[in-house]
Structure 1
Amino acid sequence: MLRHYRVAESDMLTRARRSLGISANEFEALRFLMQQRDHAARPHALIQHLGISSASVTTMIDKLERTGRIERHVVAGDRRAVSVAATELAKREMRATFGALDELMEDVAEQLSPSELRHIEAFLEAVTDAVEGSVAA
């Protein structure tokens, strides 16, 4: 059942990113930035998160900057270092995407009884604990 949900969620996010005209890596980079303090990170963090080369991250950053979704900033105290930050445009786009997903989930949750919600919550916590405790192959 969770596999079916993950496929449906993935399909929905693919449709969302295609409507924005961005690649999967660009979408994931914006998603990553949205999770960071100040919605910003250094390019090396994107390299590690996405598992792609420095050249690929530079190309991606250039494109996202051209489309107004990120801005480069000099890191205070080290003018050779740069961080990239999500712009207001990117923040709006990502909030709209994930807000729609949250709204769909809330609509479904409203149709469930408190008892059903407690059971689902317990199940999801147990699955999360199991996954977090597992060793990746």
Structure 2
Amino acid sequence: MLEQKHMALLEEAERRAIAPTDNIRACFELLALTGAIDRDCAVRLARHRLSEGKFVLLFLLHDKPDGLSPHELAERAGVTRATITGLLDGLERDGFIARRGGLEDRRKIAVALTEVGRQMARELFSEHTQWVASLFEGFTADERKTLHELLQRIWRNLDAGKQQTGQTADARA
């Protein structure tokens, strides 16, 4: 289950006895799981000529018949304008979107789904949400709640989590 690089690091940590290796193993198992989920997701989307980034744009546009500007899409998707251009080029090439002049100002570009894009977004939303939900089949509500609480504890131990909560090293001391 663990990647070779993680096995090597774990073995070295065990050899040196410098940290609790059970904690290290748990972290590496979590990394392996998230990597496997990402890979499975990529394979599922690739069947439809989509990446995760393109998939997100389909849904941002799904309920926007007048479309959105590339700037708005970049902001809502949390990507740069350069990234959005590449994603839009691919979606347009595959017939999922069309670029057109804005309704109020023809100098502005609006990006909207084509009929093919709307149909793909509709089908994929159902398929994708069912797949994501299936990852937790057999879990009870209490088990999902416990998992959520455990993941939140890990987040709080991360530097990124501390920044989100405003916790600093001084506050913990």
Distance in 1, Cα, partners of 2:72 & 2:108: 13
**The structure with more radius of gyration:** 2
Aligned AA for 2:53? E
Q: Is the counterpart of residue 32 in structure 1 residue 68 in structure 2?
A: no
Deviates more, 1:119-128 or 1:10-19: 119-128
- Could you tell me whether the CA contact under 8 Å between 1:72 and 1:85 is conserved in 2? yes
- Secondary structure of 1:12's partner? helix
Q: How many angstroms does 1:133 deviate by?
A: 0.9
Deviations 1:99-118 (A, max 9, x none): 44432343353412232122
Of 32, 40, 45, 1:17 maps to 45
Distance in 1, Cα, partners of 2:59 & 2:148: 25
Distance in 2, Cα, partners of 1:127 & 1:91: 38
Instruction: Please list every run of 5 or more consecutive structure 1 residues that lacks an aligned counterpart in the other structure.
Output: none
Q: How many angstroms does 1:88 deviate by?
A: 4.0
Instruction: Please list every run of 5 or more consecutive structure 2 residues that lacks an aligned counterpart in the other structure.
Output: 1-28, 167-173
Q: How many angstroms does 1:89 deviate by?
A: 2.7
Structure possessing the higher relative contact order (Cα contacts under 8 Å, 6 or more residues apart) = 1
Distance in 1, Cα, partners of 2:107 & 2:59: 24
Distance in 2, Cα, partners of 1:99 & 1:85: 21
Aligned AA for 2:148? E
In structure 2, do the counterparts of structure 1 residues 17 and 127 end up closer, same or farther at CA, with 3 Å as the change threshold? same
In structure 2, do the counterparts of structure 1 residues 53 and 110 end up closer, same or farther at CA, with 3 Å as the change threshold? closer
Structure 1 moving runs of 4+ over 6 Å = none
Match of 2:92 in 1: 65
Match of 1:133 in 2: 164
Q: Is the counterpart of residue 111 in structure 1 residue 142 in structure 2?
A: no
Distance in 2, Cα, partners of 1:131 & 1:20: 38
Match of 1:78 in 2: 105
In structure 2, do the counterparts of structure 1 residues 115 and 14 end up closer, same or farther at CA, with 3 Å as the change threshold? closer
Distance in 2, Cα, partners of 1:111 & 1:19: 27
CA RMSD in angstroms, aligned pairs only = 3.6
Structure number with higher strand proportion? 1
Deviations 1:65-115 (A, max 9, x none): 242200223322211111112334334434544544432343353412232
Deviations 1:20-74 (A, max 9, x none): 234x4xx5144134135627431234566443638x81x6534422422002233
Distance in 1, Cα, partners of 2:36 & 2:55: 21
Q: Is the counterpart of residue 122 in structure 1 residue 153 in structure 2?
A: no
Aligned AA for 1:133? Q
In structure 2, do the counterparts of structure 1 residues 106 and 53 end up closer, same or farther at CA, with 3 Å as the change threshold? closer
